[in-house]
Amino acid sequence: MALATELSTAVIGLGAGAGLAALKYTLTQRARMHEDLWSRRLDPYRDIWALSSQFSRWPRQHPTIADIERLHERLRQWYYGDGGILMSQRSRASYEYVQKGLGAICAAAADPREPVSDGDYADMVVIFSRFRTALANDLESRRKRSIIWSMIEMYEARKIRRQLKQRLDGLSRRHGVDA
């Protein structure tokens, strides 16, 4: 009887030890993958961050439709080059709003020398700001991850998507294009 108890205790201990070792290995691998992804994201995200400065709050820029067309194309090249494959699902969704917004502005313009209207500029400032926030969240450069923060972030992400859709819908209505 004592031998059976000792044997079952040993088997349970061995199983628990193996389970903990597997869990530690899995967590270590995930941490390594996270570090690798973070380091791969940093330079392409810096590049796109700099491109987004055409729609800054301070100081206000004065882009023309031709500038927007070039930006629209450069963002596409960035996406299909180094950037798109590295983005999280949330960042990619924000990127889509950026591209659709730029496309709406370009589609309705008659003269490439025409300046971007104040309303379009204001909408794109917000859309680009949300995109940059999504990129910063991918890099976790502004806060530490936690389960509670992740839940708050999910709620915020839904709210942001609604706001971005409203901005894009406004741009699309003003220019008579589909969002």
Give 108-120 as a DSSP string. H-S-TTSBPPHHH
Q: What is the pLDDT of residues 94-108, one digit of tens each?
A: 999 999 999 999 998
Query: Where exactly are the structural domains of the chain?
Result: 41-175
Name the residue among 63, 62, 61 with its Cα closest to residue 74. Answer: 63
Q: What is the pLDDT of residues 123-144, one digit of tens each?
A: 999 999 999 999 998 998 766 6
Name the residue among 12, 81, 5, 20 with its Cα closest to residue 48. Answer: 81
pTM reported for the whole predicted model:
0.73
